[in-house]
Amino acid sequence: MPKTADLRLIGFLCDHCAYAGADEAGRAGKAYPASFKIVRLPCSGRLDPQWVLLAFREGADGVLVAGCHPGDCHYREGNQGMLKSITLLRRVLVQLGLAEARLRVLWISAREGETFARRVTDWAEEIQVLGPRGAGR
């Protein structure tokens, strides 16, 4: 079984909440897998579904999309729009033979650094159990 450090994990994080939560985790010394690479978005609602598909096509073992808690979006309902895209993306991924767990959504506020680190780590461990995508999943 690969270590989480050997996995290719991508996170699309909204600037106002999720990215700030990741930053808070770092300031508080809360670790999450070093293999988790962050792409900063102004809002999770600005996520282009093609970016998720591209990440998987380029070899990502898992993609995480994180935004503000529902009702707290700095762009009103951007995170709700993202959720609609994720629903469609999950269908596409299943048709491509990828496990739904490889695509995760998190709602994180700027003050939830510890929660961010724990939830990213838990998700990475789930991906670790699935194995790298080269294993056929």
Q: What is the pLDDT of residue 122?
A: 96
Confidence of residue 136 (pLDDT cuts 50, 70, 90): very low
Helix, strand or coil, per DSSP, at residue 9: strand
- CATH of residue 108: 3.40.50
Give the containing element (helix H, strand E) for 84.
helix 78-95
Residues 6+ apart with CB under 8 A from 19: 13, 38, 40
Confidence of residue 84 (pLDDT cuts 50, 70, 90): confident
Helix, strand or coil, per DSSP, at residue 137: coil
Q: How many domains does the chain have?
A: 1
Residues 6+ apart with CB under 8 A from 87: none
Positions of E strands within 43-102: 62-67
The residue-averaged pLDDT of 56-69 equals 94
Q: Is the predicted pLDDT of residue 58 greater than 90, yes or no?
A: yes
Q: Which domain holds residue 120?
A: 4-135
Neighbours of 90 (CB within 10 A): 15
Q: 3-state SS string over 8-34?
A: CEEEEEEHHHHHHHHHHHHHCCCCCCC
The CA R_g of the chain, rounded to the nearest whole Å, is 14
pTM, entire model: 0.90
